[in-house]
Amino acid sequence: METIEIHQATKSYGETKAVNRASFVIPENKLFGLIGPDGAGKTTLFRMITTLLLPDEGHVKVFGYDTRKDYRQIRLFTGYMPGRFSLYPDLTVQENLNFYATIFGTTIKQHYHLIEPIYSLLEPYKNRLARNLSGGMKQKLALSCAMIHNPRLLVLDEPTTGVDAVSRKEFWDTLQQLGNSGMTILVSTPYMDEAVRCESVALMQDGVIMLSGKPGEILKNYRGTLLEITSANRFELLQLLRSMQEVKSAYLFGQYIHATMVSEKSNAGWLQEHLSQHGIKDAKISAIQAHFEDCFINAVENIQMEKKYE
Amino acid sequence: MNNRKPIIKVENLVKKFGDFVANDHLSFEVYEGEIFGFLGANGAGKTTAIRILCGLSFPTSGKLEIAGFDVYTQREQIKRNIGYMSQKFSLYEDLNIRENIQFYAGIYGLPVADIRNKTEELIGELGLSSIANSVVRDIPPGWRQKVAFSVAIFHNPKIVFLDEPTGGVDPVTRRQFWEQIYQAAARGITVFVTTHYMDEAEYCERVSIMADGRIEALDTPENLKRKYNAGSMEDVFLKIARG
């Protein structure tokens, strides 16, 4: 199977290394998620994969084609939806779609079946100017335009940022359906909980790829005993946990606190007793499997530790 | 909770744009020092309501009192007594951190000598002495959020409105941000916050959920989960916002 191969790719803007020696592989026909906060370098990396930027060092190969030499070929089979709405505001819905189809030497009719599930919702508004669409409709149009030429590779930069929880869920359902059609889909997102919707992911912060692989494996490989705790006074509990030597880290997770313990000996029973001695009698504690944010925080902490020892 | 003093009083707020009803008879109160979550799907009418509460837009009808001031006749007093921060715009990118703080403090009419002292105090508290002269464009997004929040409450407002303050922020900074919010609330500042992160809904004392211009639910996260027979606020939200 062919892959997208990113090898030691680096891109700097002045002093800032937007992407710093990134190396990982994305398998074909997969739904891939690039997960990281604002400023992590996600957009720069996607622009390198789509041949819009060249790495200062290292190389990027898309299904065997080098982004430096073979950018013309890569562009023919790539669909790209940038984070900012970048269709023509003064063209209508249909004119925009027709324009993109024509650029890629195809017609709306030829690949209509591909975009039908998304575009059919827009068709009643096909004569409306793109500038007058709501946020959700703009996104549907942008996605339709990005895949009207049946791309082998579809790259979506933060399609769910600022989108409410319901619409985000629906968007991921759509992506998973598209994934079954054989396209390789790359999606970036700052929402860590979306990682589990992908078949393969990479976690990025400060230009560095911290972890990559299957989400299930990343969750399973979380090192350390992780406890989930509730109590009436979460903030008091949080302070107490942070003051304990046996607790490596403690963070709020909604109604719970997640505490990573230093050793296996400090398990739920041990903590229950210890908290009780400090006057917290109502704590409910259970050992849990890591969530994605746990893994992300852990990876960030590990990198900071490494830096300290360098 | 019942003997707490309301600081935001909204009775039958209606806002129409032509035939479109963006806010359809909203009624609620927010208490002094409360952390109040204002949730809803995109397009549910949250931003419209927030703009009215901040004195930036007139309601079509309804009775509203913000920090003791009337939204029809005392909008300037409202603006002086609130703070506002949004993810999209909060700080001037081409000013440095110190200049941003001084600019906002000046706008809110703080005395010059106070501004100077309090600015240095704040920079020290945030641990930003080494980068206080860096333009905002060059500092990491996570730090920007912390500075933006501190600036929004620098003039010690009665209420601070936070419109998606943590969008795109890394998971550690997001949590540190909520600890900042708790500290502000402990000082008596009322926090009115919107978010798309449903775990953050759990950090609020009470949460309202809007759908199609109306408030469909308003209660503590605990009670909402019980009422909708849901394991998390995310489940509650999905049930309500989907209708």
Cβ pair A255:B169 closer than 8 A: no
Quote the pLDDT of residue A213: 94
Strand partners, A34: A188, A202
Chain B nearest-CA distance from A36, in A, is: 7
How does strand A153-156 pair with strand A78-81? parallel
**Contacts of range B120-125, beta carbons closer than 8 Å, 24 or more positions apart:** B122/B150, B122/B154, B123/B97, B123/B98, B125/B150
**Max Cα–Cα distance, chain A, nearest Å:** 73
Instruction: Using CB atoms, pick whichever of B42, B140, B202 lies closest to residue A255.
Output: B202
Which residue in A has a C-alpha nearest to residue B225's C-alpha? A255
Cβ pair A39:B140 closer than 8 A: yes
Chain B nearest-CA distance from A207, in A, is: 12
Cβ pair B232:A254 closer than 8 A: yes
Task: Give the residue from A173, A253, A255 with the most B CB atoms within 10 Å of its CB, the best one to mutate.
Answer: A255
Locate A142 and state its tokens. Answer: 């942008």
A177: phi then psi, degrees, rounded to nearest 5: -65, -45
Which residue in A has a C-alpha nearest to residue B169's C-alpha? A37
Strand partners, B202: none
**Is any Cβ of chain A less than 8 angstroms from the Cβ of B164?**
yes
What confidence tens digit (pLDDT) does each residue in B98-144 have? 999 999 999 998 999 999 999 999 999 888 898 999 999 888 877 88
CATH of segment(s) B32-56+75-241: 3.40.50.300
What gap in Å lies between CA A223 and CA A261, rounded to an integer? 10
Amino acid identity for residue B87 in this structure = Q
Q: Where are the domains of chain B?
A: 32-56+75-241
Chain B nearest-CA distance from A105, in A, is: 36
Locate A194 and state its tokens. Answer: 């979306």
Instruction: Using CB atoms, pick whichever of B175, B202, B233 lies closest to residue A251.
Output: B175
The whole model's pTM is what? 0.90
Chain A nearest-CA distance from B102, in A, is: 26
Instruction: Using CB atoms, pick whichever of A166, A254, A293 lies closest to residue B242.
Output: A166
The CA-based angle A280-A285-A289, given to 5 degrees, is 150
Quote the pLDDT of residue A261: 95
Chain B nearest-CA distance from A264, in A, is: 24
Instruction: Using CB atoms, pick whichever of B170, B172, B196 lies closest to residue A165.
Output: B196
Quote the pLDDT of residue B67: 97
Task: Give the residue from A252, A256, A300 with the most B CB atoms within 10 Å of its CB, the best one to mutate.
Answer: A252
Quote the ipTM score: 0.83
310 residues of chain A, pLDDT tens digit each: 689 999 999 999 998 899 999 999 999 989 999 999 988 999 999 999 999 999 999 999 999 999 999 999 999 999 999 998 889 999 999 999 999 999 999 999 999 999 998 999 899 999 999 999 888 889 899 999 999 999 999 999 999 988 888 889 989 999 998 888 889 999 999 999 999 999 999 999 999 999 999 999 999 999 889 999 999 888 889 999 999 999 999 999 988 999 999 988 889 999 999 999 999 999 999 999 999 999 999 999 888 888 777 6
What gap in Å lies between CA B189 and CA B197, rounded to an integer? 22
Locate B23 and state its tokens. Answer: 């806010």
